[in-house]
Amino acid sequence: MERYRVALVSDWYYPKIGGIEYSIDSLASALKELGHEVHIITRRYSGRDNCNSRNGIKVIRVKGRELDTRFISPGAYWETFKILKSGNYDIIHAHDLTLPWHLSHLLQAENLEFLQL
């Protein structure tokens, strides 16, 4: 089986607990179990390192600010884009309402393939 380098991008992830966090965690664990290299890119919560791991999966946290319970920050989108561009990922899964829209425009501007499902 072919092995992929996968980035899962979400505004929400542990230590917050909810539906999105659980979905991302389950997907990451399943992909890792299949032998893929998985990185989770998410927001930085106060008191958390920029980069850590959970269950052996690398978690990269970007700085941003919360606005009306959403993680909206042009700086955070730009930092996420730079991580994605330099990460040489085969698959990028953006999981949120606004994040995929912003990232799709940045990726298309760089002539990187983007598939929205």
> What letter does residue 28 receive in the DSSP assignment?
H
Tens-place pLDDT, residues 2-55: 999 999 988 777 766 777 888 889 999 999 999 999 999 988 766 655 557 677
Domain residue ranges in the chain: 5-109
- Where residue 8 falls (left for φ over 0; alpha for ψ -120 to 50; beta otherwise) is beta
The domain defined by 5-109 folds into: Rossmann fold (3.40.50)
Token pair in block for residue 88:
């040489």
pTM as predicted: 0.78
Task: Look at 59 and 107; give whichever has higher pLDDT.
Answer: 59
Phi/psi of residue 2, each to 5°? -70, 140
Q: How confident is the model at residue 100 (pLDDT cuts 50, 70, 90)?
A: low
Among the listed residues 62, 87, 66, the one whose alpha carbon sits nearest the alpha carbon of residue 76 = 62
Task: Look at 25 and 70; give whichever has higher pLDDT.
Answer: 25
